[in-house]
Chains A and B, each alone.
Chain A
């Protein structure tokens, strides 16, 4: 039943004419489905094709080939119905400079058959006291909150957020995460967002599609993506004596030995990558006992989506 999906993307291709006369493939035939009530993330560097994909689903751009459906409706054929039922926050999108927040919500609400009360919406994002203010008088975090709530004037079933936290300070970003979680988990709205922040995707999304150069290179829950890495954990050791790299690599459960360096006070630091944390940690500890060296510090950390991205694309997410 197609009705079970909030969004379906099927073999989506988007090509642009390139400046040199050739063809630029922004989206190279991607497919995925998003369930109702899910928070789904498109993660990738700038220019990966995230925004293009989103805007085709939103019916703002036409695909070169392939189809996208929202709540069982075709983005192209059933444009008006799709638009009636979705909420769209554009990347770095602004609102009228010379209208108050209430006036903007009221105006945009008038475009939809179903509309929410501006006062109610502003209360939701704690901007009630700014009802008569203009967007220019809001802080960065308030602006982003407003732009999300302005995408919800029609009480949408599916909400699209294009880089909702780009340019925010850590505190404001955290507040916005809470708000997005609330929309998704409490209000039960399906949320599809793009981001190039790993921690954002890990924290907010039920599932993440990692996109690079218009292709999905990995798609799963953040936890599963990390778990499936050849080395999902990282053990950092600080030893009192230098040891042989080959000996470290021979420890049971250690996949590879990363960087090593001499740190202050004649100490040596080694980074070991492991598939499973418990087994590798035990083996490492007993190896240290037998090696004659002593461990000054041991830390165990999980790999992040950053590592997944590095592993799947061979490059770092940040430019």
Chain B
């Protein structure tokens, strides 16, 4: 068993092509989406057009320049600036004409993340200026803001736990289905059967080696994600535990496919036919809460859905095991079902 585990691990690391797809595919998402998030939809760039210097123009300038999140650009052409907002290249354009005329603001009303923040900041500046202009030294009522949703969750923070789950699924399903089918095609499984060793030892070593590599994969994805600026607010060790547990489900599914497929090509086709739709339907790229309720009710039972959801709750809401009851129940159910299916449908060697 020890030698089988060492050999299986060596094979996994030396099979560069499979390793490449296991590691690089989710990593590719991790890196590309971090780039998106950085230049995303005009980001927080605000264009300020000032026709004639005024205290309010100075107040807006200094307020926006202080903020790290907002990038202030100056321009003299408001029409161009407005078009850039419309094209999604800039978040907001502000036109300060003369002190007696209204300040005109154009913004992308579909950008629900950035626009309210910018409008709020702008309103604060204008209100303060109004109070000062009215001679109010000390306002009668003060609103003290305490942002309780203090976690500054970016779109990238949202994606990263999804990519971890995606990586876990892909590597397990496609890897197992392909390699076990290949071993059967090459008659390696039959050769093992001809020896006085239990097939279950060989399969156990495979599973152990793959779970180990999958833990390494999670470490790489999380590591790169953090390097690219993602935030994880909860317990990273817990993400590893949930990832390894989820991995078992997809290994079982991989064994089911390997049990039925006749050729490596058909095994890989079947594996992708299961993995790719799940990638889009289980909430990796967008919350399934955005889908019609009927669909949601179905999709939440996909094996990847509770994995993505648990990863995300840990990463974004710092959820502990106690808050993951629903996800853990679904994952546990899937482990039982997928293991039973693997036992029933997997054939070590056909003769």
* A positions within 8 Å CB-CB of B: 55, 58-61, 80-81, 83-84, 86, 88, 90-99, 103, 106-108, 110-113, 154
Residue among A93, A97, A98, A111 making CB contact with B196, cutoff 8 Å: A111
The answer to whether B195 and A83 touch across the interface, beta carbons within 8 angstroms, is yes
The answer to whether A96 and B194 touch across the interface, beta carbons within 8 angstroms, is no
Find the B residue at minimum CB distance from A110.
B3
For A60, what are the chain B residues with a Cβ–Cβ distance below 8 Å? 190, 193-194, 349, 351
CA distance A98 to B7 in the complex (A): 9
The answer to whether A98 and B15 touch across the interface, beta carbons within 8 angstroms, is yes
Q: How many Å from the CB of A311 to the closest CB on chain B? A: 33
Q: What is the interface size of chain B, counting residues whose CB is below 8 A from a CB of the partner?
A: 21
The answer to whether B3 and A93 touch across the interface, beta carbons within 8 angstroms, is no
The answer to whether A103 and B191 touch across the interface, beta carbons within 8 angstroms, is no
The answer to whether A94 and B186 touch across the interface, beta carbons within 8 angstroms, is yes
Most buried by B among A80, A96, A112, A154: A96
B 259-297 to A, binary, CB cutoff 8 A, 1 in contact else 0: 000000000000000000000000000000000000000
Scan residues 178-214 of chain B and give those whose CB is less than 8 A from a CB of chain A: 183, 186-188, 190-197
Find the B residue at minimum CB distance from A94.
B186
Residue among A88, A94, A98, A99 making CB contact with B194, cutoff 8 Å: A88
Q: How many Å from the CB of B349 to the closest CB on chain A? A: 8
Q: 13 A-B contacts, Cβ less than 8 Å apart?
A: A58-B194, A59-B194, A60-B194, A86-B194, A88-B191, A88-B195, A90-B190, A94-B188, A96-B11, A99-B14, A107-B7, A110-B4, A111-B196
Residue among A84, A93, A106 making CB contact with B191, cutoff 8 Å: A93
CA distance A81 to B349 in the complex (A): 20
8 cross-chain pairs, A with B, having the tightest CB-CB distances, nearest first: A94-B186, A111-B195, A98-B14, A111-B197, A88-B194, A93-B187, A83-B196, A110-B3
The answer to whether B188 and A99 touch across the interface, beta carbons within 8 angstroms, is no
Interface of A (DSSP majority class): loop
B10 at the interface (CB under 8 A from A): yes
CA distance A60 to B192 in the complex (A): 10
The answer to whether B10 and A112 touch across the interface, beta carbons within 8 angstroms, is no
CA distance A171 to B191 in the complex (A): 27
CA distance A59 to B190 in the complex (A): 11
For B188, what are the chain A residues with a Cβ–Cβ distance below 8 Å? 93-96
Q: How many Å from the CB of A107 to the closest CB on chain B? A: 5
The answer to whether A112 and B7 touch across the interface, beta carbons within 8 angstroms, is no
CA distance A88 to B193 in the complex (A): 10
In the complex, given contacts A95-B186, A97-B11, what are 9 additional A-B residue pairs having Cβ atoms less than 8 angstroms apart?
A60-B194, A80-B196, A93-B190, A96-B11, A96-B183, A98-B10, A99-B7, A99-B10, A154-B195
